[in-house]
Every structure is written in C-alpha cells, then in structure tokens.
C-alpha cells in the first residue's frame, strides 16, 4: 500500500458495511426472483461478476487502499487476485465512470420490478422487501453518509464522488 494512505476504517465498520451490502444485493435478487426467477439468476450472476471481479480490477487496483482496508475492505481482497495499477489512472477508468450506474441499478431495478409486480399481484412479502430495499438504499446512499465517508477517504481527490462532495464545501479530514 502506498504511504500516506493509512487504513482509517475500522474492521467493525468494514464488516458492517459488507453485511449491509450483501443483504441489499440478496434482497434485490430475491425481489426479482419473486417476479421473474430467470431474470433474478441472470441479475445475481451479473452482480457477482461486477462486484467481485470487474469493478475490483477496474477500480481497486488503481486505489491508494490497494492491499489495505478501505471502507469496504475491497483493497485487501483485490490485492489477492489482481496486480496493482497506477492510482493516477483511477479518474478515467471504466469502474470510476460505471460505479454510479451500477449502484443506481442495484437501488432501482429491484424496486421497479417489485412495484410493477405489486400492481398486478400485491403481497405483504413484496411490500416488506420493498420497504427494506428503499430503507437500505436511503441509509447507504444518502448524501450525508456519502459526505462523511468521502471526507476521510484518501481517494477523494481523484474520485468523481469524492470531488463532488469536497466541492460542495465539505472539508477533507486528515
């Protein structure tokens, strides 16, 4: 790991974040399963490939946390399967441009599928899953939690999301 990029995320916070993301993804896949099982399988395979390999290779190999503990712990995981890249290549890489669309689809696709399904076949189970998906997406993706995370991240000078948060008048914490 490059000097100047300390592991400023606790193991507890990394574990909690990964549990929440796992629950979020599984709930989304299950939501789609309730409506179109084949699509849920395809969505699950797509998400597994994107989160475990494509995004790790594209983003995490170029991150200052490579080999260490970022907010999600993916820097350590990535170092076990991919060689380190140049962190200066991070801003223009595929993953940095694609990540917002991936997270948005994780948030919206299951919700849209459930809402449309509920119009034709309402159920309490679908309602509970819908509420949980919206709640997790709000907690994980709201602007205030993003500001807090971006303010301590050692990539916020290169990351489009970090730059946006800093440019909104948020100070970077050392």
Nearest C-alpha neighbor of 147 from the set 167, 127, 128, 123: 167
pLDDT per residue rounded down to tens, the chain (174 residues): 344 445 678 899 899 999 999 999 999 999 999 999 999 999 999 999 999 999 999 999 999 999 999 889 999 999 999 999 998 898 888 998 898 899 999 999 999 999 999 999 999 999 999 999 999 998 887 777 777 777 788 888 888 766 555 555 555 444
- Terminal CA-to-CA distance of the chain, rounded, Å? 18
Can you read off the two tokens belonging to residue 17? 């974040």
Coil vs helix vs strand at 84: coil
Task: Residue count of the chain, please give it.
Answer: 174
Compute how many other C-beta atoms are within 10 angstroms of the C-beta atom of residue 6. Answer: 12
The model carries a pTM of 0.85
Residues 6+ apart with CB under 8 A from 152: 8, 9, 172, 173
């Amino acid at each position: 790991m490059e000097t100047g990029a300390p592991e400023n995320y606790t193991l507890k916070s990394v574990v909690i974040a990964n549990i929440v993301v796992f629950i979020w993804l599984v709930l989304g896949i299950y939501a789609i399963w309730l409506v179109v099982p084949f699509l849920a399988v395809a969505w699950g395979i797509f998400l597994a490939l994107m989160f475990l390999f494509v995004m790790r290779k594209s983003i995490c190999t170029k991150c200052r946390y490579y080999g260490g503990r970022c907010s999600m712990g993916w820097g350590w995981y990535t170092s076990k399967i991919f060689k380190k890249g140049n962190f200066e290549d991070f801003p223009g890489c595929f993953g940095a441009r694609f990540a917002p669309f991936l997270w948005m689809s994780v948030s919206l696709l299951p919700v849209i599928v459930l809402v449309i399904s509920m119009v034709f076949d309402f159920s309490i189970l679908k309602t509970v899953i819908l509420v949980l998906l919206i709640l997790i997406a709000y907690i994980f993706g709201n602007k205030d939690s993003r500001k807090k995370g971006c303010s301590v991240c050692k990539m916020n000078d290169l990351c489009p999301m970090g730059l946006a948060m800093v440019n909104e008048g948020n100070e970077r914490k050392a």
